[in-house]
Structure 1
Amino acid sequence: MTEWLGFVTGAICVWLTVRTNVWTFPVGIANNGFFLVVFATAGLYADAGLQVVFLALAAHGWWQWLRRDTAGERLAVRRGGPRILAAAIGAVIPATLLLTWLLTAVHDTAPFLDALTTALSLAAQWLLNTKRIENWYLWIAADLIYIPLYAAKGLYPTAAVYVLFLGLCLYGLHTWSREPALRPAGTAVAA
């Protein structure tokens, strides 16, 4: 039952993210609680711990998306550019190595993949909190690893929701790419 609640809240959370709807964060917080239980039970300790970190990141993202800049405008979708993406990926590599070492020590059932997906997810969430379009690339990479990992663990509803997440991430990348702030001046977007 907990896994199915994670499925439903996760699907709603990602859909709201695609729509750049701030309600993604409270729904995501509920999702984190459900998946914390699922992953701890499955022996995926980094994924379980990641849910705790996501709770804090969701609170930060919620605040970030609600606050206004000095001009009174809400945070807009924007590109991070090569330096931001390089920094995110640059953080993923040492985080993956460190987490793999730690997870091996605590007998995680899939230390490298658990570490890699955790590092990718943290970097993606950081980019999402600041509405950087590059978040979608990291979420897509993580989902492509999560799907077979969860299927191999027998977490079939979770693997299925990550297939859905992958589709929503592709749609999110497409949708966010159409944001006015990301288009060159004077260009229109076909309906």
Structure 2
Amino acid sequence: MVLADMVTRLQEPLFTLLDTPVSWVEVLGFGSGALCVWLVARRHIANWPVGIANTLFFILLFAGAGLYADAALQVVYVALAVYGWWSWIAGASGHLAISRTDGRTWRILASATVLATALLTVLLDRATDSTVPFWDALTTALSLAATYGQCRKKIESWYLWMAADVVYIPLYAYKGLYLTSLLYAGFLLLCAAGLRAWLGEATAAARKEALA
């Protein structure tokens, strides 16, 4: 009962933006999401526990907005975040270096993304009342591919995140989640900064290795 009351209060409006009520859970998702991406760009391991908190807020937010694939995706994110957290900790001793995604992995990710998008679109269209089944499915598939790359510190994960954000921004605005849409516009800028930082570190490491 206490948990149910807490969930209800989190979904209550905190203020109004563009004549649309903004809930506590959207504000908390905004703050934790921005902090998470900022930490990822700086390769700080704290991004994983902050990211887990962010997914919990977004489960409530997206389910309430009818973005069912995005809500379910947050559950997968929790599992991937645990894996990523462990991977970064385990890689600390052996230094999990920033690297490029090889051609074989790209082909597997591309095929998996297309297949996941198609299957999720059909599922959402037939089993839910989603008004945006394809776009919900596409962003979910892209985000999963990006998260895998982030777990392995692959530079190209930033490109995948940016592609997802380009779709997320108008999608969330269409669903009336204006604060979250603004958050993802910020994510897009943070992704560009993160990409630049990772490219710089990879280049520096390559030069150091060449001089060794």
TM-score calculated relative to the size of structure 2 = 0.83
Q: Distance in 2 between matches of 1:83 and 1:171?
A: 27
Aligned to 2:52: 29
| Secondary structure in structure 2 of the residue aligned to 1:173 | helix
Runs of 4+ in 1 over 4 A off after TM superposition: 181-184
Q: Where does structure 2 lack aligned partners over 5 or more consecutive residues?
A: 1-23
AA aligned opposite 1:74: H
> Retained in 2: the 8 A contact 1:6–1:34?
yes
CA shift for structure 1 position 107: 2.0
Deviations 1:43-80 (A, max 9, x none): 000000000000110000000000038xx422111111
Matched, 1:138 2:152: no
AA aligned opposite 1:104: D
CA shift for structure 1 position 108: 1.4
Q: Distance in 2 between matches of 1:26 and 1:186?
A: 32
Aligned to 1:158: 180
CA shift for structure 1 position 182: 6.8
Aligned to 1:73: 94
Q: Distance in 2 between matches of 1:6 and 1:141?
A: 20
Residue 25 and residue 109 in structure 1: after superposition, are their counterparts in 2 closer, same or farther (change >3 A)? same
Q: Distance in 2 between matches of 1:41 and 1:178?
A: 40
> Retained in 1: the 8 A contact 2:87–2:151?
yes
Question: Please, which moves more after superposition, 85-94 or 175-184?
Answer: 175-184
Aligned-CA RMSD value: 1.7
Q: Distance in 2 between matches of 1:173 and 1:138?
A: 11
| Secondary structure in structure 1 of the residue aligned to 2:195 | helix
Q: Distance in 1 between matches of 2:205 and 2:103?
A: 17
Q: Which has the higher strand share?
A: 2
Give the percent of matched residue pairs that are identical in Structure 1 and Structure 2: 51
| Secondary structure in structure 2 of the residue aligned to 1:20 | coil
| Secondary structure in structure 1 of the residue aligned to 2:91 | coil
Query: How many residue pairs end up in the alignment?
Result: 186
Aligned to 1:99: 120
Question: Please, which moves more after superposition, 85-94 or 17-26?
Answer: 85-94
> Retained in 2: the 8 A contact 1:7–1:161?
yes
Aligned to 1:14: 37
> Which structure: larger Rg?
2
| Secondary structure in structure 2 of the residue aligned to 1:185 | helix
Q: Distance in 1 between matches of 2:207 and 2:95?
A: 20
Aligned to 2:18: none
Q: Distance in 2 between matches of 1:151 and 1:107?
A: 18
